[in-house]
Amino acid sequence: MQRQLEIDLAAWKDRPDRRPLIVRGARQVGKTFLVEKFGRRCFESVLTVNLEQKESLHRLFEGLEPERIIQELGLYFNRSVVPGRTLLFLDEIQACPKALAALRYFSEQLPGLHVIAAGSLLDFALREFKYSLPVGRIEYLYLYPLTFSEFLSALGEDGLVGWLGNYHTGDPFSETADLRLREILRLYYFIGGMPAAVAAYREHRDLVEVQRVLTSIITTLQDDFAKYGTRAQQRNMRRVLRHIPRSIGRKVRYVNIDPETRSRDLRAALELLELAGFISLVRHSSANGVPLGAEASDERFKPLLLDIALGGNLCGFSLPDNAELLTVQEGRLAEQFVGQELRAIGPAFAERALYYWHREAKNANAEVDYLWTREGEVVPVEVRAGTSGSLKSLHVFLAEKARRFAVRFNMDRPSLGEFSVEISGRSGVKSVSFTLLSLPLYLAGQMDRLIREHAPDRTFGSSAGQA
């Protein structure tokens, strides 16, 4: 499986100011496989130390002396650790907090040695970290489930990967590519981007086998709950996790999760699931400018799951020949898919937070699914599962925030055009002129590139119509 992060790892390897690297991500998104594959390709040798399995080696990090640590590891594994030739990989580093603290000394005293660490529950370790963090002496890369392009590549659809990556708005549209991408997108809804599930489908071409793997992943993730807190907290995490797939695209209301459990306990469970990377919260922002996080709310948010197919499995959403079930869920699936793709858009060294906008007013509610920023501009993003649907909320946002550019995802052909609409408000009727970039769902991963292609020019064409 080719992962986009391999490019970032190669760039890290060759940088003269390189520092020890921590690859972060939820359990089973492929961190260990990625690092070891990279190590075999780019180094003479890789020394992997799994600190969850090798508790006896934790004592080696007590002295925080890099030279002694690599000597002792070399003796234990009967391997030479040579700066510039060996990749030292400290896997499941959250199991040994002293190893986290030692990373700063590798940066200072052995800068020629390539060191990568990874950990699935790293945020929990950092939250309770008792030592001085090596701030400024380590760097991060974030790994998510396979994106749609990576999924296509894993299935051998390299031609479609190239078509997506080289598509420009206004290019001749390929009906053949569109048909095939729609088919595979539907397949992605059921298989998702967890590497084990993708590998199972690639090997067996059997969706029942995929569901078996997904069920196993969910069981493993839930077994991890025992590491997070009390039994009551674990029960609440299970309640929340079961509820989330049915709440994609909706503001979380604790009473809908469990009316018998206190909201603060359910909120604590949500926070634990977010720390573990099982879910991410799309927070409301007033969106008056950038950064969006400056006006974000910790009380108003919508949930996303780690992976689209895990959500389907939790809902009993099993086989793609169930057209009725797909139709019922397609709106939520579309919003989950776009959110999942947007989270994975680079740069990989920073965790991307997602935001939405919602105006609550009597008889005048309005909501925009996602907000994006590009060169200081806030771009509203609407998601539609089919080829039609009202854009009233988008129009309201554009009018209130004086924005002139928007993105819509649906299953229609891509287009770029200028539109004018009239919005009725308390102060009367307001005319809004804007440019709409409309893209099929399968181009979600290319959104930032396509926006960037048009960002220097705010006159985006001359046609006028009704959106």
**Amino acid (one-letter) located at 375:** E
Q: Which residue has the higher pLDDT, 333 or 228?
A: 333
Query: What percent of the chain stands above pLDDT 90?
Result: 71
Lowest mean pLDDT among 397-401, 433-437, 461-465: 461-465
Least confident range from 2-16, 121-135, 319-333: namely: 319-333
Q: Using N-to-C axis directions, what is the helix angle for 175-191 and 323-344, rounded to 10°?
A: 90
What confidence score (pLDDT) does residue 129 get? Answer: 61
pLDDT in tens, 264-294: 999 999 999 998 899 999 999 999 999 999 9
DSSP conformation letters of 309-364:
HHHHHHTT---TT-HHHHHHHHHHHHHHHHHHHHHHSS-TTSPPP-EEEEE--TT-
Residue 285: helix, strand or coil by DSSP?
strand
**Residue 308 above 80 pLDDT?**
yes
Confidence band of 328 (pLDDT split at 50, 70, 90): low
Provide the b/e sequence for 152-182 (b: ≥16 CB within 10 Å): bbbbebeebbebbeebebeeeeeeeebebbe
What values do phi and psi take at 55, rounded to 5? Answer: -65, -25
Bridge partners, 250 (sequence order) = none
What residues have CB less than 8 Å from 390, skipping those under 6 apart? Answer: none
Check: CB of residue 383 under 8 Å from CB of residue 370.
yes
Asked if pLDDT for residue 151 goes beyond 80, the answer is yes
Q: Which one is predicted more confidently, 59 or 459?
A: 59
Domains and CATH numbers, the chain: 5-142 (3.40.50.300), 148-344 (no CATH), 355-465 (no CATH)
Backbone angles phi, psi at 251, to 5 degrees: -65, 135
What average pLDDT does the structure give for the chain?
Answer: 89
Amino acid at 262: R
- Sign of dihedral through CA atoms 356, 357, 360, 365? negative
Asked whether the predicted pLDDT for residue 320 surpasses 90, the reply is no
What pLDDT sits at residue 361?
Answer: 74
Q: Which of 435, 439, 423, 437 is nearest to 462 (CA)?
A: 435
Distance CA 129, CA 95 (A): 11
Q: Report cis status (omega within 30 of 0) of the bond before 347.
A: yes
Phi-psi map region of 54: left, alpha, beta (phi>0 left; psi -120 to 50 alpha): beta
pLDDT at 135: 65
**pLDDT value of residue 350:** 86
For the cut 80, the answer to whether the pLDDT of residue 348 exceeds it is yes
How far apart CA 278 and CA 305 sit, in angstroms, is 6
Instruction: Tell me if 23 sits within 8 A of 31, measured CB to CB.
Output: yes
Planar angle of CA 453, 142, 250, nearest 5 degrees: 75
